Structure 1
């Protein structure tokens, strides 16, 4: 056996030696080829269209980032210009004639001095080999590999994205793809490559057809960055759920048994004071962001203004001029990892803006902040202002004083600050709008005031400057505590003081309307009292609809475009109902830690829940949802050249405008929120603990009394009320048959539906006021009879769905690298 081992070793040695002797040197292989020195030296072979990479850093980890430099331009597909992709720590490793690019597994570690303990954890969990290369030439301490195929592959997952979006089956066509020399660059600490890739395929979807000149050939550019990892002088900061930061986490298997295996740290930029002992000091290196030079004025100025608000927060944390914003020089590339970027991105339809980051997964250090701002958002805010103000009176011009433009620019300033906040590591704070606008990290609705003469005032639509909570977040994340005796105590005091001052932090999942329970954390709302705000919003809506006329569109516009301006006004209450409904079955709570100064969870007061339910019922009334006839008579069908879009109401009466369909849409929004299965279960539990509390049966009784049991007025308003009633019936049936709803929720809802069914027949036969009412009651009865017989197998036609709404200014997945959306 020993002789066999020696023989095998000899064969392998001779093979490797022979292979090595057959290889040319790097200088021989690259003779006559352009050399580019930098972090990784590469060679550009113009004749063959190849890039040769000189690898002289084996087993040295670096950061690999892929991104999309030129996109597709469809919000729905989600492949935008300058979009970040994955970032990974990788290293080159040589195995005989091959060089492998390997991604270690940083989710599982052993932070210890014992190399064997580290090795045991490393070998317990899989690594990933991203690519393999053949060695083409070598010197004593370096090898040459052809990296072209690695750069020309679909690293960003364009094909997968198109397929998952039902936009067709596409793959890279190498004959129509090439390396993109203009954005292939080298620098001392980063090497940048770019490739122009053409995807060809079949069955292109509607979105692809709408944004490509030839729909079976989609050409984009993908960017690749090889980046030197930061040094070891960054000090990770402990994650605290009260501080409002995104974070990294990993399992440390060297942790003592008495401590948590999972380690959590926030994501943040590196920032230190030149003088840590000074109350105010310049930073060692400031944080600098660069604005996309393709941004036009006056938007450019607004984005710069909003971005610079963050310097207020850093000043409050003891830094002088630590946060700076400039316009990107023409010589720089936005995907160069050295530049924190604010990108102005065009799409064919409006959609979210994003704040993403390139993060060192070892420590949480943010290496590159990267903002994508959708350019159509400013136009949506302008449209909302037009709908509110009906500004285009005869002879009215807006050469200088333009309230619509001022509101839109105010929103863009706030949006700029918000997305940059994400790239500083800061999460959404959806409780800020109920806390005196305490943070730019909320989703703000335009604040509209009603003057004494019942006109609408937009002068305070959006806040100016950074919020008090934002200063707390920056102080926790960036305060220099290097010279303090107890760093952890100092940071804890920052949060305890904020809590004592009444500042509240509640983030994403707790603020979402579908099943959400928190009474103070909402999206697109204003004011401390959600019920009062809903009444106010409905008053604003009434005034805007009362004033709605041809003055809502400029002279020379197609009258059919009045519907574009009408949609956000008729549905103006759509976001405030999301906040108000959360009071029903709601619970007030915080991200409390053991021993801190926050109170424990408490149910929303029963009186508040009932007031919220009453306010929601206003949005299920014909009085609120009947469209004024004069508005209906203003809007003709779309003329030639003006096509329907998803921004308009869905309709039963195409091509004509459908006011009853609009009421159906609005009613469905409110009813669906009320009859959420988690909310219903909380009501069941609340009543079980105290019979005087609002329960699910009580809520259903109140809704039925204010819809189906309501006396019918006949005519147009009666038709609207009948439509509302059937929407309520649909959503109750949906709740009664809801998958995974609790048995008690289904039991109570089915019990109320059975009583309603029997009442409908009796009402139709004995007390219905008119034929329209009789027809509606009998249809409801027969629908419930079929539902009783067939159960969840039978459901009537779903109500019309609303046009895209969120984001103000069309629905966030939100995690680091991740893309925080807004």
Structure 2
């Protein structure tokens, strides 16, 4: 390659680790870099990464020079000369641009270093103007769990970072060098109402005397050029057909925006190279653990222009959707249509998932409020929708089979230039920062929920859960399965309502907001608190979920067997404090805490305690949690399930009070409210009163730790 030129450098993992927890999946990408080459002695050429986030600001050479010299660049590699003013780019391939060492260090809990002696450049290939260097990067990784060491008592075994008996792992990285795109692309500043992804921020110091320097740019392909996504030929036929159908839904939106023939998804042409860095690709990725699918983009870091999209669909997470459908539908009864119903749910999810991740590749952000729209956005995180037909659950339309109005709006706004607001999308949208956590303040942002108004949807999910639990039997797993799969299916039913309950809990102490700038929003109507009546209705809907009858393990379910013949335990079982026996108490604790945890989150209690008014919401929130616990424990029924519910609620309340994130005034208000409650009238039990006395004294001891609820995401 010639020296003295600007290059865009990108890196992609083309041979991954197979552990989602590390993030080193096939298809993972590194940062988008602008690099400049310069002589480095008589026989070398340095490849220097520019600081595009802070440097390069201005329109005159003097302005750009001042910005460049104010912030450091980074020399990535010194490459040998190749004659005629060119250089050999191969050493650049050995630079860990995907951050593999850092990711492995986080997983291993200790520093991880590359082993230069075992790393090598595999190939240097040319794809038109793009040079691609594939390298095998080898790292020495200490084993967190030795093969013969005892496995964790609670939870699944640790998957190894390295294959036995080695202590090294090798990740294949492809580094690409391409010339900057031709002029003519118009950068687009992020509009809060567009639904575009905020992936790139640059600083404009040439106008800092007029406005703040940071400018967030939307990521998008250059309008007017065809956008083609190519599918991994490793996809099974059924998967490929679903991904083709789901991904090509975007073609309808481009056509409606006046851009026909601009978008398509197609199989990899015969003889073509899937790793050609000029292609937008959809990888079919395998892992040892369940993790996220991703839609990633490689950009021009100066403008936000998408040069390549890399989508990975994880095969392992589809197992979770299949298991959920099996748990709800109990299809293996010998009837001809049972397994087909499960296959239909999985195919519908794959269609939705393909559209979702390709949407990220197009530059679109999540919309976690679209469950309130007439048709949900494919950029939402949906749960499969089941209904009850007679006494049995069915899945007639588990996922929407079309784009929603918000999806059409995103394409028209980002690619077609339309500014028209989308119909039927109020509240318009809520993205990650305001929706991901259980204690988020936004009342509209919820993940893994079925479409509809939250309280009505919760009632719908609870009806499905009740019907599915009544029908629970070995018919929830394929014949010949490992017996532990029964517990993994029961867990999905026991906690089927968890995400829907969180969506309802977000109404308590919640707000509704509009994404807009100060020109269109200001303070008037930008943030609206949820009314007290709606909050009290939410608490009334959640209160029954904390009753022993709702969380009790049905008699026909227990006991559930563990793994057969010494097979390893799999993720997706309840925590155990009963050695190898099924832990019914853990199942009750989990069902209680997935509701009580979000309700009693310190941030939510802070918001409720500071709300103006008569504190009716705070009183009711504590009545259905701590007050309910004291009532259950004070009755001294001797019923193990009732005792477990009471102590779990009280421990959750105690944990919240001990959390430093809880304001002191909220802590005092909570303690005083519970102490003044009516549930004490019939409580003579000494253990309950002693515990409460300790709480009132602010008991500096740490409360008993609650087992973490089993993971629920992703679906």
TM-score (norm 2): 0.92
Residue in 2 aligned with 1:472? 409
SS for the counterpart of 2:492 is: helix
Output the CA distance in 2 between the equivalents of 1:294 and 1:137. Answer: 38
Q: 1:712 Cα shift?
A: 7.3
Cα drift, residue 786 of structure 1: 4.6
Give 1:519-598 correspondences, 5 Å limit. 519-596=443-520
2:622 is equivalent to residue 700 of structure 1: yes
Aligned partners of 1:63 and 1:87 also within 8 Å: yes
* Alignment partner of 2:219 out of 267, 288, 308: 267
Report the secondary structure of 2:546's partner residue: coil
1:726 pairs with one of 632, 647, 650: 647
User: What is the aligned partner in structure 2 of residue 484 from structure 1?
Assistant: none
1:180 aligns with 2:125: no
> For 2:81 and 2:55, how far apart are their aligned partners in 1?
35
Q: Does 2:91 correspond to 1:91?
A: no
- Measure, in 2, the Cα distance between the counterparts of 1:593 and 1:298: 45
Question: Does residue 230 of structure 1 match 2:184?
Answer: no
Structure 2 counterpart SS, 1:646: coil
Instruction: Point out the structure with max Rg over C-alpha.
Output: 1
Matched, 1:380 2:320: yes
Partner of residue 441, structure 1: 379
Task: Give CA-to-partner distance per residue, 1:265-316, whole Å, 9 cap, x none.
Answer: 21100122xxxxxxxxxxxx31000001111121111011111000011011
1:75-128: CA deviation from partner (whole Å, max 9, x where unpaired): 222211232122201010114434221112222356544322222222122222
1:347 is aligned to 287
Equivalent residues in 2 for 1:20-59, closer than 5 Å: 40=1, 56-58=2-4
Equivalence for 1:157: 99
Q: Secondary structure of 1:632's match?
A: coil
| 1:209 aligned counterpart, secondary structure | coil
Is 1:455 aligned with 2:381? no
Say whether 1:685 aligns with 2:607.
no
**Counterparts of 1:137 and 1:549, CA distance in 2:** 69
Residues 175-574 of structure 1 aligned to structure 2 (within 5 Å): 175-181=117-123, 184-205=124-145, 207=158, 209=160, 212-247=163-198, 248-255=200-207, 257-272=209-224, 285-329=225-269, 331-393=271-333, 395-397=334-336, 402-451=340-389, 453-479=390-416, 491=418, 493-494=419-420, 497-498=421-422, 502=426, 504-574=428-498
The residue aligned with 1:280 is none
Please give the per-residue CA displacement for 1:293-344, whole angstroms capped at 9, x wherever unaligned. Answer: 1111211110111110000110111011211111224544434320001111
Check 1:566–1:254 CA distance in 2 against 1; reply closer, same or farther (3 A cut). Answer: same
Give CA-to-partner distance per residue, 1:123-168, whole Å, 9 cap, x none.
Answer: 12222222234x55644xx0445x5544234333322212111266
> Is the CA contact 1:208–1:215 (under 8 Å) kept in the aligned structure 2?
no
Q: Per the alignment, in what secondary structure is the counterpart of residue 207 of structure 2? A: coil
Deviations, residues 339-360 of structure 1 (Å, cap 9, x unaligned): 0011110001111111110011
Q: Give 2:561's match in structure 1, choosing from 627, 636, 639.
A: 636
Which residue pairs with 2:573 in the alignment? 648
- Aligned equivalents of 2:634 and 2:628: distance in 1? 11
For residues 771-809 of structure 1, the C-alpha deviation after alignment (integer angstroms, 9 at most, x for no partner) is xxx5xx61x4444445556734x123212222221111x
1:102 match: 48
Give the 3 Å change call, closer, same or farther, for CA 746–153 of structure 1 in structure 2.
same
- Residue 430 of structure 1 contacts residue 511 of structure 1 at CA under 8 Å; is this kept in 2? yes
Shift in Å, 1:626: 0.7
Query: Is 1:657 equivalent to 2:608 in the alignment?
Result: no
SS at match of 2:185: coil
Quick check: 1:624 aligned with 2:550?
A: yes
Residue 529 (structure 1) shift: 1.8
Contact 2:245 2:351 in 1 (8 A): yes
Distance of aligned partners of 1:169 and 1:599 in 2 relative to their CA distance in 1, 3 Å threshold: closer
Contact conserved, 1:65 with 1:85, CA < 8 A, in 2?
Answer: yes
Q: SS at 1:84's partner residue?
A: coil
Name the counterpart of 2:600.
Answer: 675
Contact 1:697-1:752 within 8 A present in 2 as well:
yes
Question: Aligned in 2, Cα 1:215/1:649: closer, same or farther, shift over 3 Å?
Answer: farther
Mapped partners of 2:604, 2:82: distance in 1: 67
Greater displacement, 350-359 / 106-115: 106-115
- 1:791 paired with 2:699, answer yes
Counterparts in 2 of 1:653 and 1:755: CA distance versus 1, 3 Å: farther
Q: Secondary structure at the match of 1:85?
A: coil
What is the TM-score normalised by the length of structure 1? Answer: 0.80
Could you tell me whether the CA contact under 8 Å between 1:584 and 1:679 is conserved in 2?
yes
Query: In structure 2, how many angstroms separate the alpha carbons of the residues matched to 1:800 and 1:286?
Result: 51
1:6 matched to which residue of 2?
A: none
Contact 1:511–1:522 (CA<8 Å) still a contact in 2?
yes
Query: Hey, what's the Cα distance between the residues in 1 that align with 2:132 and 2:271?
Result: 14
> How far did residue 710 of structure 1 move?
4.0
Q: What is residue 171 of structure 1 aligned with on the other side?
A: 113
Number of residue pairs the alignment of both structures matches: 700
**Contact 1:783/1:796, CA 8 A, preserved across alignment:** no
Which residue of 2 is the match for residue 606 of structure 1?
Answer: 532
**Equivalent position SS for 2:31:** strand
Secondary structure (helix, strand or coil) at the match of 2:217 reads: strand
Contact between 1:391 and 1:552, CA under 8 Å: does it hold in 2?
yes
Tell me the equivalent position of 2:21: 76
CA distance in 1, matches of 2:619, 2:168: 57
Distance in 2, Cα, partners of 1:255 & 1:576: 47
- The answer on whether the counterparts of 1:544 and 1:569 sit within 8 Å (CA) in structure 2 is yes
Q: 1:437 to 1:511 in 2, by over 3 A?
A: farther
Is 1:804 the counterpart of 2:711? The answer is yes
Query: Of the candidates 67, 78, 101, which is equivalent to residue 12 of structure 2?
Result: 67
**Cα 1:690/1:720, change in 2 over 3 Å:** same
In 2, are the aligned partners of 1:293 and 1:329 still within 8 Å (CA)? no
Taking the aligned partners of 1:329 and 1:460, their CA distance within structure 2 comes to: 33
1:750 alignment partner, one of 666, 671, 683: 671
Aligned-residue RMSD, C-alpha: 2.6
Relative to structure 2, which stretch is displaced further, 150-159 or 355-364?
150-159
